[in-house]
Amino acid sequence: MTTIRIEHQCPQCGAPANLEETDRLFACPFCRVRSFLLTRDYFRYVLPAKNPADKDLFYFPYWRFKGTLLFSLPSGNDHKFLDVNQCAADLPGMPATLGLRAQAMKLKFLSQELAGRFISPTHSFSDTFTAFQTRFSQTLPKPILYSAHLGESMGLLYSPFYARDRLYDAVLDRPIGNRMLSGSLADNGFKDEKPDWRVNFVPALCPDCGWDLEGQRSALVLHCRNCTSSWYPSGEKLTRVQSDCMEKAEEGLFYLPFWQITCEISDIALKTYGDLVRVANLPRIVDAPVAAREFRFWAPAFKLRAQAFMRLAESFTLTQAQEMLTPALPPERHHAVTLPVEEACESLKVVLAGFLKPRRRIAEMLTRITIHPTHFRLAYLPFREDQHDYIQVQTGQAVNKNLLSLSCHL
């Protein structure tokens, strides 16, 4: 699986650093300072120009998306994996896509120091994304009841160009076709404001007690073992997130993280466990105190291929294991949180579509229902390890080890 590689400098000592787009916690091998990478929204990258001297470079924007499209069909759920980019502004003659170029070279983060003009995107990410959905759903049987995405990475790529007698692609230092740029960029309606963005490296220290935060390089959630707290990026700062653990006296277990998401759901009654038993028509009899427990969606908080992701999300949502949790940090042997809760929230309607009954009314119900997440927290569940799988101790649900390690590079 292809990933974007980024060249950067350590914010403390200036030593060169090589990062991958999935990296969040950066530990400098020279000065040992650990920083966490934050952005107020998404990361912006710049492709390098081949011979930048004496060229009046302009950078053209491309939206990048890597992840899975999820579709709810009358026959069940389907998905497609995508790793694509698409121009975010219109200028005739410009390449509509950069293809795999961004994955083949080292990029830089966008920074204020870079010379050149930057064209602002004129198409929003969501418009571009809708076009991807339409294009990739063409081969699916109709009707498509609902579609969503499970994103692993989204961002903006800036690729350099310049104009002489013709338009030139500055990455290859080669002309693009025979096209002349008629008039200046401004005549073509382009704003070339320097984007007001830089990557933000914050010290990986507990915002509450100042202790070193613990996490793997791709971890979105960091833990403080001193004051027993968990921290999750929210815009340009770290905010506290409640972390629960299903504890088990057994040694050597491996813990996987899940998001528990409380939602307001319109048009169906789904607030409690009792509601879930009715909505999913589960063959269970529950007594009143159990029936009154709050309903939460459950979804993996780590990257996993769509099919396995949906299977686990549906199965743990139907289990509602929150009563077995206690507030705690996971033991040392655990998988990092690598899937943002925002992405997990995108999948909830598809998860719901998987168990909603009666099936014959599903199309009509799905169009009306809206799901509004109101609260989230983490749950770390223990898994026993055998040769091929991690097996969840209480439910017997298995996660293939090979699939999990492959999915890390999604």
Which residue ranges make up the site for Zn ion (CB under 5 A)? Answer: 10, 12-13, 15, 28, 30-31, 206, 208-209, 211, 224, 226-227
Nearer to Zn ion, 9 or 124 (CB): 9
Nearer to Zn ion, 10 or 98 (CB): 10
> Distance between CA atoms of 184 and 32, rounded to whole angstroms?
47
Q: What is the DSSP string of 318-364?
A: HH-GGGG-EE-PPPSSBPPP-S-HHHHHHTHHHHHHHH-S-GGGHHH
Nearer to Zn ion, 87 or 337 (CB): 337
In the three-class reduction of DSSP (H, G, I as helix; E, B as strand; rest coil), residue 14 is classed as: coil
CB of 208 to Zn ion, least distance (A): 5
Nearer to Zn ion, 208 or 386 (CB): 208
> Distance between CA atoms of 62 and 85, rounded to whole angstroms?
6
CB of 112 to Zn ion, least distance (A): 21
Q: Which among 3, 312, 347, 298 is positioned nearest to 153, based on CA atoms?
A: 3
CB of 227 to Zn ion, least distance (A): 3
Nearer to Zn ion, 9 or 367 (CB): 9
CB of 8 to Zn ion, least distance (A): 11
Nearer to Zn ion, 7 or 173 (CB): 7
CB of 324 to Zn ion, least distance (A): 26
> Distance between CA atoms of 315 and 363, rounded to whole angstroms?
22
Q: Which residue has the tokens 């709810």?
A: 72
CA neighbours within 13 Å on the CB side: how many for 335? 27
CB of 209 to Zn ion, least distance (A): 3
> Distance between CA atoms of 133 and 149, rounded to whole angstroms?
9
Contacts with 178 (C-beta within 8 Å, 6 or more apart), sequence order: 166
